[in-house]
Amino acid sequence: MSLLTVSNLTKRYRRGGKVVTAVDDVSFHIEPGETLALAGPSGSGKSTIAGLVLRLIEPDAGRIEFEGDDFLALRGAKLRARRARLQMVFQDPLAAFNPRATVARVLDDPLRIHGIASRAERPRRIAALLERVGLAADLAPRAIHEISGGQRQRVAIARAIATGPSLIVLDEAVSALDVSVRGQILDLLLDLQSQERIAYLFISHDLGVVRALARRVILLDAGRIAESGDARAVIDAPQSAIGRALVAAAPRLKRTTQDAS
Amino acid sequence: MSALASIHDLTVTYRRDGNAVAALRNISLDIVAGERLAVIGESGSGKSTLALAIAGLLPASSAVDGRIEWPGPGQPPLLGRDIGFVFQDPSVSLDPVMTVGKQIAEVARTHLGLTWSQAYAKAKTLLERVRLPDPDSALHAFPHQLSGGQKQRVAIAAAIAAGPKLLIADEATSALDTIVQAEIVALIRRLVAEDGMTLLFISHDIALATELAERIAVFRHGQLVELGTTARIVGAPAQAYTRTLLDAHIGLDAAPLLNRSGLHA
């Protein structure tokens, strides 16, 4: 059984009197412990799909099955309990966190809200989470705005794994990081995946990272699936127009200077 | 090869919470007239401070040591006339309540002494040069009516309106998706060639820099790590840090990070 099955998902927005279909009849599935990537240009619907899967946005049509349940039908306590299994990491953790919070507070919230650890137990759990993502426990009292961007994204990952999720939506989660930090965060994500068997819905505009990280990829164009399949096969030989355009546009290290043309 | 600008021992210090923070330390380099020079580095490397210093845009509170010389004939360069500057976010650099045509025409009128009607004609020509669809109606459009890529084309048109010698692009494509980024890079390359401009291309993306620049300067923690031709920087980097940046690039030919066989065990 798939971990997540999305069927015929559709979301329309009204913008200046016009109806824009941001996500148009999209279906896909994610298996336990695998990474599925969503890639596409701006406005192709990547982040809207993330919001729909997380139920931050309600769809106009379609069905989402998560861990065997009709996720869109869950309400109240059942929905809250299931949310612990479905977590998220966004591009900019500074925007995602309360800017006045400390690192400890950011990690204390999910442990408390989901009733995972008692008050007395939580400091120890927070220290363990920090250690799990490669941070020192003495970072806990620091303000979230004081630490570096790479440290903040590690805290965001610690917050996401605090509730024991089976799926994490990573929406451009490494896009704003310096390249030297990005590699470390990708290593951490892979390590967590192999240890805890967490599946990732990895949303990125960067085909190089997608190809290196994901098993399968879906290429989106204007809210529709243009192409999908094995990540390396799709990116090495794209069949769709958008796939070819994305591959052609990806920056490549050039060893020789080209003449201006 | 004559220098358009010679930077000698440039140190820039910002004041932050009462502390002095050195953003650039003892930088010396020449920008060769007519070259495409990329300045690359990570957050806090000082690459944007260098761009601002060259353009004369440093905040008044910053302390500057060293000097920037402009060996060519004539007056020191004037921003807008002799130096065009394209920023990362055109939504911020364009005036949201002024039409696109007027923003471009204003540059031409101010620096070239044109009348408004001449300046508007020039603006229309520039919108054609940056390949904005339907330049006639774009003249009367406001920035919010354009896409991110179209806005950046307008910002480039305004930057080159007075025919500058030097075009500075500071992360000018970083907020755009890869397809639009490639289009804007091609546009900058074409405009620089057609007008014989010198290009200073500031970027965090070493691969993008290699696609556009003839020489690359690598910055880290406010210092110049190394400077060389693109072929030399990519093929034979002298510094370990440059090698780190090259190795960190995950291209379309990178080895998979994923151990596929272990996944469904």
- Residue B205 CA to residue B200 CA, distance in Å, equals 14
Q: Would you place residue B260 in the very low, low, confident or very high pLDDT band (cuts 50, 70, 90)? A: very low
Instruction: Out of B15-19, B54-58, B102-106, B214-218, pick the least confident.
Output: B15-19
Contact criterion met (CB < 8 Å) for A257 and B189? no
Contact criterion met (CB < 8 Å) for B204 and A41? no
Contact criterion met (CB < 8 Å) for B251 and A252? yes
* Four-point Cα dihedral B113, B114, B119, B121, nearest 10: -140
Which residues of chain B does A41 touch, with a Cβ-Cβ cutoff of 8 Å? 177-180
In contact, B143 and B90? CB cutoff 8 Å = yes
Determine the pLDDT at residue A259.
47
- Residue A250 CA to residue A252 CA, distance in Å, equals 6
Whether residue B261 is predicted with pLDDT greater than 70 in this model: the reply is no
Q: What residues have CB less than 8 Å from B8, skipping those under 6 apart?
A: B28, B66, B67, B68, B69
* Sheet with A61-66, edge to edge strand ranges: A18-30, A4-15, A61-66, A69-70
Let me know how many helices (H) and strands (E) chain A has, helices first.
Answer: 10, 10
- The model's pLDDT over B41-82, given as tens digits with 9 standing for 90+, comes to 999 999 999 999 999 999 999 999 999 999 988 788 999 999
Instruction: Write out the E strands in chain B.
Output: 3-16, 19-32, 36-40, 63-69, 83-86, 166-170, 198-203, 215-220, 223-229
Which residues of chain B does A183 touch, with a Cβ-Cβ cutoff of 8 Å? 248, 250
- Give the A:B interface size as CB pairs under 8 Å: 128
| CATH (residue range A1-85+168-250) | 3.40.50.300
Positions of chain A with pLDDT lower than 70, given as ranges: 255-261
- Residue A33 CA to residue A49 CA, distance in Å, equals 20
Q: What Cα–Cα distance (Å) separates residue B78 from each residue in A109, B114, B154, B166, B192?
A: 54, 17, 21, 10, 19
**CA-based nearest distance A190→chain B, Å:** 7
Which residues of chain A does B36 touch, with a Cβ-Cβ cutoff of 8 Å? 260
| Closest residue in A to B211 (Cα–Cα) | A254
**CA-based nearest distance A76→chain B, Å:** 34
Total-model pTM: 0.91
Q: Within 10 A of B235 (CB to CB), how many other CB atoms are there?
A: 13
Contact criterion met (CB < 8 Å) for B258 and A213? yes
Q: Nearest CB to B178: which of A149, A212, A246?
A: A246
DSSP tag of B88: S
Please report the sign of the dihedral spanned by the C-alpha atoms of residue B204, residue B207, residue B211, residue B213: positive
Q: Which domains does chain B have, with CATH numbers?
A: 35-56+73-247 (3.40.50.300)
Q: Nearest CB to A208: which of B36, B179, B251?
A: B251
Mean pLDDT value across residues B106-113: 96
Q: At B110, phi and psi to the nearest 5?
A: -65, -45
Helix (H, G, I), strand (E, B) or coil at B235: helix
Contact criterion met (CB < 8 Å) for B254 and A257? no
State CA A66 to chain mean position distance.
Answer: 16
Whether residue B265 is predicted with pLDDT greater than 50 in this model: the reply is no
- The model's pLDDT over B243-259, given as tens digits with 9 standing for 90+, comes to 999 999 999 988 888 65
Among B97, B142, B127, B138, residue whose Cα is nearest residue B191 = B127
Token reading at B80: 């807008």
Determine the pLDDT at residue B63.
95
Whether residue B264 is predicted with pLDDT greater than 80 in this model: the reply is no
- The model's pLDDT over B136-163, given as tens digits with 9 standing for 90+, comes to 999 999 999 999 999 999 999 999 999 9
The residue extents of the domains of chain A are: 1-85+168-250, 92-164
The HSE-up count of residue A237 (CA atoms within 13 Å, CB side) is 2
Token reading at A177: 């990081």
- Residue B87 CA to residue B148 CA, distance in Å, equals 13
Q: Within 10 A of B3 (CB to CB), how many other CB atoms are there?
A: 17
Determine the pLDDT at residue B200.
98
Determine the pLDDT at residue A260.
41
**CA-based nearest distance B9→chain A, Å:** 27
Token reading at B7: 């930077």
* A152 lies within 8 A of chain B by CB: no
Q: At B117, phi and psi to the nearest 5?
A: -70, -35
Whether residue B117 is predicted with pLDDT greater than 90 in this model: the reply is yes
Which residues of chain A does B263 touch, with a Cβ-Cβ cutoff of 8 Å? 33-34, 194, 215
DSSP tag of A116: -
For A88-122, b where at least 16 C-beta lie within 10 A, e where not — what string? bbbbebeebbeeebbbbbbbbebbeeeeebeeeeb
- Residue B120 CA to residue A184 CA, distance in Å, equals 51
Token reading at A17: 């009197």
Q: Would you place residue B199 in the very low, low, confident or very high pLDDT band (cuts 50, 70, 90)? A: very high
- Residue B42 CA to residue A177 CA, distance in Å, equals 9
- Residue A221 CA to residue A197 CA, distance in Å, equals 30
Which residues of chain B does A232 touch, with a Cβ-Cβ cutoff of 8 Å? 256
- Residue A113 CA to residue A80 CA, distance in Å, equals 9
ipTM over 0.85: yes
Q: Nearest CB to A256: which of B177, B190, B231?
A: B231
* A246 lies within 8 A of chain B by CB: yes
Determine the pLDDT at residue A96.
83
Which residues of chain A does B262 touch, with a Cβ-Cβ cutoff of 8 Å? 194
Mean pLDDT value across residues B117-126: 97
Contact criterion met (CB < 8 Å) for B257 and A253? no
Q: What Cα–Cα distance (Å) separates residue B205 from each residue in A11, A107, B50, B214, B221?
A: 34, 33, 17, 15, 16
Whole-number average pLDDT of chain B:
94
- Residue B24 CA to residue B29 CA, distance in Å, equals 13
- The model's pLDDT over B8-46, given as tens digits with 9 standing for 90+, comes to 999 999 988 788 899 999 999 999 999 999 999 999 999
Strand partners, A169: A88, A201
| Closest residue in B to A148 (Cα–Cα) | B43
* A180 lies within 8 A of chain B by CB: yes
Q: Nearest CB to B42: which of A180, A209, A236?
A: A180
Q: Best interface-test mutation with B: which of A211, A220, A244 has the largest number of B CBs within 10 A? A: A211
**CA-based nearest distance A37→chain B, Å:** 13
Among A171, A200, A177, residue whose Cα is nearest residue A39 = A171
Q: What angle is formed at CA B193 by the lines to CA B227 and CA B57, rounded to 5 degrees?
A: 60
Contact criterion met (CB < 8 Å) for B204 and A232? no
Instruction: Write out the E strands in chain A.
Output: 4-15, 18-30, 35-39, 61-66, 69-70, 86-89, 167-171, 199-203, 216-221, 224-230
